[in-house]
Structures are given as structure tokens and as C-alpha cells.
Structure 1
């Protein structure tokens, strides 16, 4: 069987081990200087040592470690080349799809649509050539490094014939054995001190908890330190204008790739292994006749819509499926029945009681997906009635209907504390924030479909660091790592915010390359002229997703005139956006609003 390059590199350790095993178990060298008279050798001038043991002290571990490391590096680079080669056709096909979409949106622009499609072909050709060059360079580099390794090993073996080197290695071997014995003794001693260390850790944790409780107590009394505006923090209008300019720099195709919307297929899906397993388990239990309704909970942009959509696509084609993405404006069960009934094949004006009876005994098992159930309640007297009705509907039909629903994170926290019948769900799955590695893979998968190359430049923070003297490749790698670290810190695991941050980082676009800045200027702060009611408005919008002006006035129990003046101020500052007849939080400022509300003790 013919071995690949990584396996060949890895198997080279066997010949090295055979060479070392052939060394004698004992050897003697003399320490007489050159030109000394011949005669009997004094015993104190003879050096007896074990070449096999001395060679195994450093040479063998270093050689095996180097070969394993090089094998892993080669395997990793080959896998990356293979993946990128497989993504080249996808990128060209995506460009063709975008050209068709562009032509549908702007009929008569055949020439520009053709240029988009040809651009995809050119990028594909360039990527294939670049991957071929990279593979050739990898092959050349690895054999050069192996030749250097053989030379180093030969030199090391020759040094064993030097008495001074042999003595030095013997002393090093004795010190190493002594360190091992000392480490084992320290480990035994540390085990005897375990209770003391545990007590120390427990005291430190209690002190930390006491400090947090004290801070919370002062905050509740209104004695917390005011939020000081950073002198480098930009004003909100300037901040938003800069972000909009960054988005406009990017090509139409690139903006489409990074639009936060539900995924059409699993090509761009990363992570969420546990959550997908929960969906599959819920379906399996339901098919066995077990109560298995499931609720996905997460921040906006956490991927709940994509998970539900992709799961629904994997259902057998003959499975009855009803999918209802809820929107604001549903305030009673009659309105909810009018939206849900047609999806189940029932008349639009089906009464709630009739819908409830049909779902308890449907003609065939049903799968019902309802997204954003936070629109089914309002935080005022009697505002939970519709949510109670919906939960009764779920609980009463979950053996015949597989209910898969989603809810925003902070709305669910409120409902979980408020509702007694929130246990209508057999499983509540909270979507965990994406890790930095997952966000990197999610971003790079989308970027590779574009066909553009990437270039990184220092941002405000990196310009204060001495990185200009680094080699070009190391500098680019450092800036890339810095960008993803800053992105993860800003997004805090939210894919939607990570996609926005990536686009904001764009500072220049050429025909083949997009240049990104490793760090962005400081984040803005909320203006000082905001009144306390404004923070409660932001809290209500975060909780409900979208509210009209009368609804906000009713929730806050404020006169409409005063409430509308606060709304106008928030809208002028672009903290909120007008959407239809209601208002929503500006998604560009979502993380800022959440942070401030937590500092104000309005979110937990």
C-alpha cells in the first residue's frame, strides 16, 4: 500500500530508532590530550558511559517529537488544501447564483451580471493555481527540513565520541533523574496538603461572593459609581455612520454572504452538535409516543431559526409540517388561530376550540414549528393570557404533535420566573454562545465562498505594539488572531454580531483582496441625557422584540405624551428603529444596550 506524505514522515522514526538501538550498551573513552606518550592509561582518565542511554536522553525524544510535529503539520496543511479545493466549485457556483439574483432584481443589466459570474470563474482559477503552488512549496519545504533533521542527528551522534560531551550528557542525565525523584516527592507532599488548599480556595470564593453581594447591595441603593464616558469613546451618530460606511465598501456578493439570515443548507453550519442531538432525540421520543415538545432559547442571531429550518428539511417527505414564524401584532388567540389553522390545512376562520380539538386528534401525526413565541405575551395586567392559551395547546396535544418552538433569551427568563405552567416543554435547550474557534470557522467558510483574498492591517491598539519588525507571514497571522479575539470579545458568542463585526473591519476592497483592520476604535456609550424611563423602554423592547408606542406607554404606565417624547429621543439617537407600526432595538447597538441594562441591574 502506498503511503501518503504525512504517513511517510511519521514512519521515518522507525529507522531512527533502529540506528539508536544498534548503539552499544557500554563504551569507554580516554581523556588524554592529543600527542600524549603511549603507555598504560590511568583509571581516572577513562570515561565509561552508555551511548544508547545518552542518545535516548535527548536525541530520540527530540527526533520522534520533531517527526510527529512535522507529520501533523503536513496533515493539517494537506487537509486545509483539500477543503479549500473542494470549496472552489461552491464559490464559483455561488457567484453564478448571485449573478442570477442580481439580474432578477435589476433586469437589463446583463453585462454586469455576466461580469459577476466571470469574476467567480477567475477567482476559482486563481485559487486552484495558488493551491497548486502551495502544495509544491509544502513538498519542497518538508524534505528540506527532514534533511536538516538527519544532519542534526548525525552531528549529535558524532559528539558522543567527545569525552567532554559524554561527561556533560552523563551529568545532565543524573540531574534529570534527580528532578524526577524530587517531583515525585513534591507530589506526595502536595497530596497531604490537599485539605488545606481546598480550605484556602473555599475562603477565596466566599470573599469573592461577599464582594459581589456588596456591589449588588450598593447598586440597589443607587449608590453605584456613575458610568463615566471614556474620552476616546465615539459619539453614537459618528459610530453608526462609520459602521455604515464600512458596510458600503463591501461588494454586493460579499454583503449577501454575511447577511444574518437562516441558513439554506448545512454548508455554513458549524457546531451546535448538542442542540442538533436534542432535536433528533425529541423526534425519536415523539415517534415512540412520548411527550416531547422542545423549546430553543437564545439571543437574537444565535441560530435557532437555522437549526429548526435544517431539522425540518431532514424530516421524511411525507411528514405533515406546519411552520409559523411569529411576528408582532398577535394579541389574542383568535389572531393566533387565523395564522396557524391554514398551515395545518384548516379554514382560516377556524375557532380556537376547534383548532385545539383537531390538534388533540389529528388525522396523522404533525410537526409544528413556531418561532419567536416572545410575541405571545405583554408585560402588563392580563398580558400573559395568550401565552397561557398557547401553552395549554402545546401541553394538550404533544403526544400527537411534535412542537418545536423558539424564544428569545431574556423573554424566556422572564416567563420562566412568572409562569406556573412554563413546564409545558419536556425539554428547554439554551443555545450556548459560539466559541472563538467556531466563530472563526463560521466566518472563514462564508469568506471562502466569495473567492477574495484577505489582508490584515494594524488597528488603533496594534499600532502601539512593536509588530512592524516581524516577518510578513508572522505579522499577518498575529493580526488575524487579534481580529478574531476582538470579534469574540465584542460578539460574546453571537453569530449575528460577529458577522457585523467582520464587515465593519473592512477598510479597503480591491478586485481580488479585502483588507481588514485587526481592531476597531472604542465602543460608544449611551448619552447622559437619557432619563430613567428610557432605560425601561430599552428593557421592554429587548424583552418583547417589537412594540408600538401605545404598548410601550401601557407597559411603563406612563402618559402617552411623555412616552412619545422619550421614543423620539431614542429614535433620534438611533438606539431604536421604526419597523412598521412599532419600534425595535437597533441591532448594531444590541450588545451595548444589553451591557448597560445589566449595569443598571435591569437584566439578569
Structure 2
């Protein structure tokens, strides 16, 4: 080998050693980085049993490796991008330092027949030898006459040094480099398995992950490269003497042959490298899947444990604050009738005294407070929250993970050995529905018990009150005091027995709830554990396919049903269009011509409807009524929809933070959920300032009232507009929410003064204060015409109509907390409908449900409170497990059209102002106080109005019809 070539070969050899040692170093650092992170994050032995800590730990590791080897290897992409390009570029840089070809003298052996020569050479060499000797005859003759004999020179041969160098130091080295690369990846995979094992079972690992890629391994890699290098140097030397002679096949170093050999070697290298990359990718996918499922296991265990503890805590509070006091009071009250006590005081006086104390301490305090606590549905709410939180967590799971058939990660894996499994699909289609079904069943049972407890708790003071009255009556009938005492003792014993029954039922439901929750947790965790066993991939894939097929079948059936229903609905609506118009015209004409004869109809119709409505609502379980109470939401689990409105409020806040004017005005009909939307926004939009909230309850157009309210909330002595503006602009940044801005306005001369002063304060302080206001849509529409109200707010956000589906979800969510199963009642028309009768039970219920909520929302017009109220009024029957909902029937308040105009103006004023006092109504309508008083009394008696703390409001039950009446007369 020429000196220059030898130096280049040594440099190339040194580069290869350095290159692969660097790769080893990188892999070693990778392993060490992951090992140290896990060791740092891993909880101590004492905390491993803490599910919350375990969840956080698993999630932190998951986030750390989330994007590591997360893309499925691509053979085409790996071909040149990985090793080949680097090696090829570096080698050809060295190769360029070698001459392309050189001419040197052949060795003497090339002109001799050697024992190891092939048969072909033995035939050809004699001709070569003869030709050479013949060509040298002149040389030998001339040498005879020379005093100094010249040395015989053999023929020269052309050596293609670059091609030969490439053959032995690049192509022939590639198979060795392939082996070295596989050795490194095998060691890397083994080390990763140990890190993974350490993450899950720190006490059950065979080797310390840091022991991999040690000095012995590095030496073995160096030795393998050295051996291959020395062997190739020897072969290079041999072929160097033969190239360009008849003894060497020149095709071996042809450009085409070298390129073909390189492509073949590169293909093998890439294939092996790709398969190992598959292994490492699959290992990390398996790890991520296990971490995700382990975190979910810990999350579920933690939440169920917390729920169990909360239930136990709730029980303890019931005992501490109510049951123990009730039992103590009953014992004390009974002791007051002991013989010794009665010797000091008369039994009649004692009965009166105990009855008074019982009513005050037991009935108005302990019993009432305990019933209030039971009716808050705290256990049901927490179960529903658990269901919501688990479903929300499952939604965040990755869609699919790569798994292997063999579940081995210490061998290279072909592409066909990899498949995908979706944890999310299996959980969402199978496991979570099972969990939710069990929770629904448990909630239903808890609901039933709570309703029974409410009744029994109420019975306690009624029993005491009754026995005391009975004892008092017995004394009035001249019976002896012993007989009265016997009645009292028996009565108190029954009260104590009832209390014990309450205690027993609470213990039973708490114990049963805890037991069932733990069973649910264990079953779900066991199922999740099975998901982590990839050796059951085929079975899991079949389970997912079945679950998806069932879901798809149901969805397809529903889609076909919806299509057919929609088609016939269009046809039906076309044929019935004119029929409906005719009926409407007939009804309208009847109202016009017969209105004079039904002046007294409203009294009877409204009162009858109200009595029937009250009977329906009062017949429902108290807990169920509480769920549908017309009040702003504080439990945000029940919140539904309003994504666009929340996004706009969030955008407004972001704009204000950037220094822009961004006052927000929410407008909607009364009871449409503006306060609930504000509550949700405060909890979910990341305000960096705690909002100051003001709810205006009384209509007052005087500015001083507004100034006083703001001063009290700001806790400063501020008496006028200028001082409030100065204070807000010079102080810290604030968020101020004012609800019911319609209360700052009266439709009278100078009735806008307070509202205008508020606008002045708001516009002057927008840089320092983020303002959110809400106002009734009907007040806003009036003020928009007279004051151009929206011009003062950068973000006017009218609440958009809720879809039928959103109304449905909003109501169904509340029902889920109760645990009752809803059953929609079919109508007589449905019974005779052939298409309806062909549906299965689930399809029938889906059809009835969709129709009900469509009709309900058509009436409620996205007014949430209206929807909730008429949902309750649509309840036909409640039993232990089911609630039967009858077909929604739009209430007929057509009699409202016969109300005289002076009363219509009263309704208009009350809706526009969201309630008024008697004197305010008189001012707004310019009626004298006497006429106003009699109008209000009449409308109150008719049930059209309600009175609350001196203010008069339109009855919620006829609110929708009243609005429609006023709109039909262009008064709204």
C-alpha cells in the first residue's frame, strides 16, 4: 500500500472508531438522562400507595417521554438521513485525497505459474510469460554487451486506486458497520427495558440501567472495527498487486459494480436499522400506553377514594351537626318529664314549654337544616362529578398506540409485527359505559334512600309535636298525669326509633356506596391492567372491533331513521301547511268575535292551570325539585353550551389586558342563564384578578343609589361620580361585574340618569377596569333605540339560542344526578303509527325524546328556566327508579288576548323593567296610585302576576305567552 493510501486508511479507521464511540456516548447519555429523571420523580416507598402521587408521577414520566420515538419509523426516510449520508460524505472526502489511478511495475510472481492459480490462469499465463520474454530479447542481447548490467523491469499495470480503496474500506466495511450498529441498538434496547422496568418496579430489575454501554462494551465495538479494518487492509494489499493484470476481474471495481454493491449493503444496513428502530419505537409506545393506563388507574383509584372519604365525611357531619344533637335533645326532652321534675312543675306547663322548644330548636333548626343538607344532593353531585371527570380524562387519552405480536423488545421487529391498539376506543366504547351504568344504578339507589330520609327526618318533630298535643288533650279530658306521661314516653320512643332508622339507613347507604365504589374501582383497574398485557393483542382488537361495530350499527340505524323521518316530516309539513293556517285563522277569528263573552275566563283558566301545576311540582321528590330549581348554577358540572359566548368574553378580557377598550354587555331574556354564564366564566376564564360582583335587585334611577352601591363594594367613602372615577383610575386594576343593568332605568322623565352616570363611570375607567354588565333583552332593545346602548360597549354579546340538543343535554345532566331513568310516554297517535311500532324500544325512546325536546325548545325559545319549569310540569309519574315524561303540550293561554289594554300595558312595563314596585309602576304608566293598585290586585288574583318583597313580576309560567302577546301587539 502506498504511504499516502495508508495514511488515508488510518484516518478513515480513526473516524469510524470516533463516530461509533460518539453514538455509544449519545445512547449512554440518553439512558442516563431518563434514568435520572425517573429516579428524581419517583415517590418514596412510603408514598407509593398514595394514588394522587402515583398519578402525578406517571403523568410526569409520560410527559417526559411523550415525544420520544413517537413517530413510526419510515424505511425510505431513514435511508440517507441516518448513517449513510454521514459515512458516505466523510469517506469520499478522504477518497478525494487518493489519486484516481497509478501505474506501477508488476511483481515477479505475476510472470510465474503459481500452485494456487486457477485453471484459467494456468492456461493464460504461459502466453503472458512467452510474450514478456519475447519482448525482452532485445534487452537481454543489449545487456550482453554492457559493462554494467541493467535490472530487468516487468511490465507495468494500471491500478484504479480510488475504486479499489472504495471496494475494501467502504463497501467491504459496511457489513461490519451494520453489525456494530445492531450491537449498539441491541444494547440500547436492553438498557431501555431496564429503565422501563425500574420506572414500574424499582426493586425487580436485573441490572442497573447505568451499567449498559460500559467500557467492556465500548472495547468490543472498537475490537470489531479493528479486526475488520486489519482484514480489509490485508485484502487490499493482495488485490493492489493484481489490479490491471489478467489475474484480476476488473468488473469487481467497475463504477457500476461498486454502486450496486453499495446499494445492496446500504439496503441491508437500512433494513436492520429500521427493524431496530421499530423495536425502540414499539418499546416507547408500550411504555407510554402503560404510563397512560397506570396514571388512569391511579386517577380513578384516587377519585373513588376521595369520593368514599367525602361520603364518610358527609356522614360524620350529619352525625356531628344533626343526628347526635337530635338524639340528645330527644333524651333531654324526655328526661324533663321524669317524676322528680314533675314534682317541681306542673306537667301541663312542661308540655307547653317542651312543645315551644321543640318547634324552635328541633323543627325550625335541626330538622330543617338536616333536610336542607340531605336535599343538596352532595353525594349524588360528587358521583356525577366522578363520572364527568373520568370521562374527561379518558377523552384526553391518545387515539392509538403501536403494539407487537410477540411483546418482545430485545429483537429487531419487522413492520408486519407491529399493529395499533386504541386505549381510548376500548375505554370509551366498553369500559367507561359500564362504569357509568353502575354509577347510574348506584345514584338511583342513593336518590331513593335520600328521598326516604327526607320524609323520615321530617317525621321526627311531627311525632314529638303530635304526642305532646295528644298528652295535653288527654289532660284536658281529665285523664291522670300518669296517662299523659305514658303517651309522652311512647311518643318519644317512636321519635327515637325513627331517628335510629334514619341513622341505620345513612350507615347502610354510606357503607353500600363505599363498597360498590371500591368494587367499581377494582374491576376497572383490573380491566386496565389487562390492557397493559400486549400478549393479548388479538383479543383486545376483537373487543374494540365489536364495540365499534355495535356503536356504528346503532349510529347507522339512527342515521337511517333520521333520514326517513326528515323526509316524511318535509312531506307532512307540506301537506299540513295550509291546514294549520286554516286552524290558526279560525282560532284568531274566534278570539276576536268571542272576546267580549269570556272576560272572566282568565281568572278561572290561570288559577286552574296554576293549581294543577303546583300539584304536579309538589308531588315530585324534593331532591328532584331542587335539581330543577330556577336559580343560577353554582355547580359548573351542570353547565352546558355557550362556547361562543365564553370565547368572546375571553377575547374581550385578552383585549383589555393589551390596553384596549373591552367592556362587555350580555343581553338575553330573563331566566336565560346570564348569571350562570357569568359564574362559569369567572371559574373557567383565567382572570388574574378576583372579580368584584354586584347584583342590582331593585329598580332605582337615582344616581346616588348607584354611587352608594359602588362605594360599599369598593369599601371606600365615595359620594359622587367624579370621586368614583378618580378612585378606579388611580387604584389597582379591577374586574367589575354588574348584573341587571335594567334596574338602573325607569321609563319616565329623567329615568335614565343613573344609567347614564354608570356609562360615564364605565367609559372613563375602561383602561383600569374590565367591565362586564348584563341586561334584559327587552330593556336593551328599548334603550338601543333611545340611547344607542351598544355603542358604549366594545363587546355586545347576545346569548345565542340553544339548540334542541343543548336543551336536552342541560336537562338530562340534571336528571343523571338524581339517578332516575327517564321514560318518555307515547301518544295515542304513536300507538296507531305503523312506522313507530316497527322501531325497537331504544329507537322509540330516542324518537320520543327528540320530539319532546324539539317541542319544548320551540316553546321555551332557549329560555333555560322556562325549559326546566315545563320539564317538571311534563312529569307524569315518579316511582322508585323511573320518571315518566308525558308528551309536551304547549299550554293554552289564548285567554291572554282578551285582557284589556290597561292591563297589557302593566305587563309590558313589568317585563321591560324586570319587576316594579306599585309606585314605580304608577309613574311609568302615568296611572294614579289607586287605579294601579286595583290593576295589580286583579292580576295577582288571576295568577298573571306574582309579588315578592313588594315588587311585582309576571308569573314565570305564563311569561312566554305574555311576551308573545306583547310582541304580537308591537309592544316589545
Residue 265 of structure 1: CA displacement? Answer: 3.6
Is 2:886 the counterpart of 1:500?
Answer: no
Residue aligning to 1:598? 967
Is 2:839 the counterpart of 1:448?
Answer: no
Residue 464 of structure 1: CA displacement? Answer: 6.7
Residue 581 of structure 1: CA displacement? Answer: 1.4
Is 2:738 the counterpart of 1:389?
Answer: no
Q: Which moved more, 1:588-597 or 1:304-313?
A: 304-313
Residue aligning to 2:54? none
Is 2:695 the counterpart of 1:325?
Answer: yes
Q: Is the 8 A contact 1:480 1:518 kept in 2?
A: no
Question: Counterparts in 2 of 1:357-376, with a 5 A limit?
Answer: 357-362=726-731, 364-376=732-744
Residue aligning to 2:78? none
1:378 equivalent among 709, 722, 746: 746
Residue aligning to 1:240? 610
Is 2:675 the counterpart of 1:310?
Answer: no
Residue aligning to 1:294? 664
TM-score (norm 2): 0.42
1:519 equivalent among 888, 904, 923: 888
**In structure 2, how many angstroms separate the alpha carbons of the residues matched to 1:502 and 1:296?**
26
2:805 equivalent among 434, 437, 440: 437
Q: Is the 8 A contact 2:692 2:735 kept in 1?
A: yes
Give the structure with the higher percent helix. 2
Q: Is the 8 A contact 2:444 2:820 kept in 1?
A: no
Residue aligning to 2:345? none
Residues 534/397 of structure 1: CA separation in 2 closer, same or farther (3 Å cut): same
Residue 469 of structure 1: CA displacement? Answer: 6.7
Residue aligning to 1:409? 777
Residue aligning to 1:425? 793
Question: Counterparts in 2 of 1:40-439, with a 5 A limit?
Answer: 115=505, 226=592, 235-314=605-684, 319-347=689-717, 350-362=719-731, 364-420=732-788, 422-439=790-807
Residue 79 of structure 1: CA displacement? Answer: 6.5
Q: Is the 8 A contact 1:263 1:269 kept in 2?
A: yes
Residues 394/316 of structure 1: CA separation in 2 closer, same or farther (3 Å cut): same
Residue 316 of structure 1: CA displacement? Answer: 6.2
Residues 146/321 of structure 1: CA separation in 2 closer, same or farther (3 Å cut): closer
Residues 96/510 of structure 1: CA separation in 2 closer, same or farther (3 Å cut): closer
Residue aligning to 2:917? 548
Aligned length: 459
Q: Secondary structure at the residue paired with 2:774? A: strand
Q: Secondary structure at the residue paired with 1:447? A: helix
Residue 268 of structure 1: CA displacement? Answer: 1.3
**In structure 2, how many angstroms separate the alpha carbons of the residues matched to 1:326 and 1:332?**
13
**In structure 2, how many angstroms separate the alpha carbons of the residues matched to 1:338 and 1:463?**
63
Q: Secondary structure at the residue paired with 1:411? A: helix
Residues 118/351 of structure 1: CA separation in 2 closer, same or farther (3 Å cut): farther
Residues 330/103 of structure 1: CA separation in 2 closer, same or farther (3 Å cut): farther
Q: Secondary structure at the residue paired with 1:558? A: coil
Residue 424 of structure 1: CA displacement? Answer: 1.8
Q: Secondary structure at the residue paired with 1:507? A: strand
Residue aligning to 2:556? none
Q: Is the 8 A contact 1:123 1:451 kept in 2?
A: no
Residue 462 of structure 1: CA displacement? Answer: 4.5
Residue 506 of structure 1: CA displacement? Answer: 0.9
Q: Which moved more, 1:82-91 or 1:322-331?
A: 82-91
- The higher relative CO (CA closer than 8 Å, separation ≥ 6) is in 1
Residue 561 of structure 1: CA displacement? Answer: 2.4
Residue aligning to 1:178? none
**In structure 2, how many angstroms separate the alpha carbons of the residues matched to 1:317 and 1:106?**
48
**In structure 2, how many angstroms separate the alpha carbons of the residues matched to 1:117 and 1:493?**
42
Residue 475 of structure 1: CA displacement? Answer: 2.8
Residues 97/444 of structure 1: CA separation in 2 closer, same or farther (3 Å cut): same
- In terms of Rg, which structure is larger? 2
Q: Is the 8 A contact 2:440 2:819 kept in 1?
A: no
**In structure 1, how many angstroms separate the alpha carbons of the residues matched to 2:676 and 2:611?**
30
Residue 565 of structure 1: CA displacement? Answer: 2.2
**In structure 2, how many angstroms separate the alpha carbons of the residues matched to 1:98 and 1:289?**
54
Unaligned stretches of 5+ residues in structure 1: 5-9, 11-70, 150-222
TM-score (norm 1): 0.65
Residue 83 of structure 1: CA displacement? Answer: 5.7
**In structure 1, how many angstroms separate the alpha carbons of the residues matched to 2:433 and 2:951?**
47
Residues 391/520 of structure 1: CA separation in 2 closer, same or farther (3 Å cut): same
Q: Is the 8 A contact 1:103 1:113 kept in 2?
A: no
Residue aligning to 1:571? 940
**In structure 2, how many angstroms separate the alpha carbons of the residues matched to 1:224 and 1:419?**
41
**In structure 1, how many angstroms separate the alpha carbons of the residues matched to 2:917 and 2:659?**
42
**In structure 1, how many angstroms separate the alpha carbons of the residues matched to 2:918 and 2:951?**
7
Q: Is the 8 A contact 2:893 2:958 kept in 1?
A: no
Residue aligning to 1:533? 902
Which digits, 9 at most, give the CA deviation of each residue in 1:315-355, with x for residues without a partner? 668724310011114331211122222222214x6444322
Q: Is the 8 A contact 1:88 1:449 kept in 2?
A: no
Residue 291 of structure 1: CA displacement? Answer: 1.1
**In structure 1, how many angstroms separate the alpha carbons of the residues matched to 2:655 and 2:448?**
42
Residue 479 of structure 1: CA displacement? Answer: 2.1
Q: CA RMSD in A?
A: 4.6
Q: Is the 8 A contact 1:456 1:476 kept in 2?
A: yes
**In structure 2, how many angstroms separate the alpha carbons of the residues matched to 1:576 and 1:290?**
44
Which digits, 9 at most, give the CA deviation of each residue in 1:408-428, with x for residues without a partner? 111111111111565221110
Residue 518 of structure 1: CA displacement? Answer: 2.3
**In structure 1, how many angstroms separate the alpha carbons of the residues matched to 2:761 and 2:736?**
12
1:585 equivalent among 951, 954, 958: 954
Which digits, 9 at most, give the CA deviation of each residue in 1:38-75, with x for residues without a partner? xxxxxxxxxxxxxxxxxxxxxxxxxxxxxxxxx99996
Q: Secondary structure at the residue paired with 1:526? A: helix
Residue aligning to 2:825? 457
Which digits, 9 at most, give the CA deviation of each residue in 1:198-231, with x for residues without a partner? xxxxxxxxxxxxxxxxxxxxxxxxx9984988x9
**In structure 1, how many angstroms separate the alpha carbons of the residues matched to 2:593 and 2:968?**
9
**In structure 2, how many angstroms separate the alpha carbons of the residues matched to 1:271 and 1:113?**
40
**In structure 2, how many angstroms separate the alpha carbons of the residues matched to 1:273 and 1:309?**
14
**In structure 1, how many angstroms separate the alpha carbons of the residues matched to 2:687 and 2:820?**
38
**In structure 2, how many angstroms separate the alpha carbons of the residues matched to 1:95 and 1:141?**
36
Residues 435/389 of structure 1: CA separation in 2 closer, same or farther (3 Å cut): same
**In structure 1, how many angstroms separate the alpha carbons of the residues matched to 2:890 and 2:923?**
39
Residue 471 of structure 1: CA displacement? Answer: 4.0
Q: Secondary structure at the residue paired with 1:354? A: helix
Residue 236 of structure 1: CA displacement? Answer: 1.9
Residue 601 of structure 1: CA displacement? Answer: 1.7
